[in-house]
């Protein structure tokens, strides 16, 4: 009987220790995950367009090289567009280099700080998206206008 009681006690103590070691589930984690997902959805929407920006920029650079006798206004328009496209592309790469993962943020930041950070990153991504979309739209229009009719 004593052996049975010892075994039962050991089992209960072990079960208690295991259950007390389980991490508690913080409801803020789900909120953070959802906000981070919104930021990354913006990235996932814009990222494929950086390839289009790069291609359009290369086409315009080649056009400038192949047409050295362009009038001053056209040269200026093309050069400005190449610059705008490069800025949009650089914005995306700078954002990607600086975005912090939730795991990293959770080590040093409070929930409120994390949510503020993610809100700011969402705004930054919206700016990247705007620059990318406007650059592509205007760049395509300019490119079409440069093509022989």
pLDDT tens string 27-74:
899 999 999 999 999 999 999 999 999 999 999 999 999 999 999 999
In this predicted structure, what is the pLDDT of residue 26? 82
The answer, yes or no, to whether residue 16 has pLDDT greater than 60, is no
Q: pLDDT class for 86, splitting at 50, 70, 90?
A: very high
In this predicted structure, what is the pLDDT of residue 141? 96
Q: Cα 128 vs. chain centroid, distance in angstroms? A: 9
**Angle, alpha carbons 100-106-111 (nearest 5°):** 105
Average pLDDT value for the chain = 87
Mean per-residue pLDDT, 4-33:
62
What is the distance between the alpha carbons of residues 136 and 93, in angstroms, rounded to a whole number? Answer: 16
**Angle, alpha carbons 105-34-117 (nearest 5°):** 35
Each domain of the chain, given as residue ranges in start order, spans 28-146
What is the distance between the alpha carbons of residues 26 and 28, in angstroms, rounded to a whole number? Answer: 5
In this predicted structure, what is the pLDDT of residue 1? 52
């Amino acid at each position: 009987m004593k052996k049975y009681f010892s075994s039962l006690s050991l089992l209960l103590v072990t079960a208690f220790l295991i259950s007390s070691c389980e991490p508690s589930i913080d409801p803020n984690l789900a909120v953070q995950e959802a906000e981070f997902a919104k930021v990354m959805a913006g990235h996932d929407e814009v990222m494929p367009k950086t390839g289009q920006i790069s291609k359009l920029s290369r086409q315009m650079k080649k056009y400038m090289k192949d047409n050295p006798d362009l009038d001053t206004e056209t040269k200026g328009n093309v050069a400005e567009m190449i610059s705008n496209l490069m800025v949009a592309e650089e914005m995306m790469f700078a954002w990607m280099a600086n975005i912090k993962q939730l795991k990293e943020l959770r080590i040093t930041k409070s929930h409120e700080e994390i949510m503020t950070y993610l809100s700011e990153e969402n705004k930054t991504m919206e700016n990247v998206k705007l620059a990318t979309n406007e650059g592509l739209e205007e760049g395509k229009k300019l490119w079409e206008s440069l093509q022989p009719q």
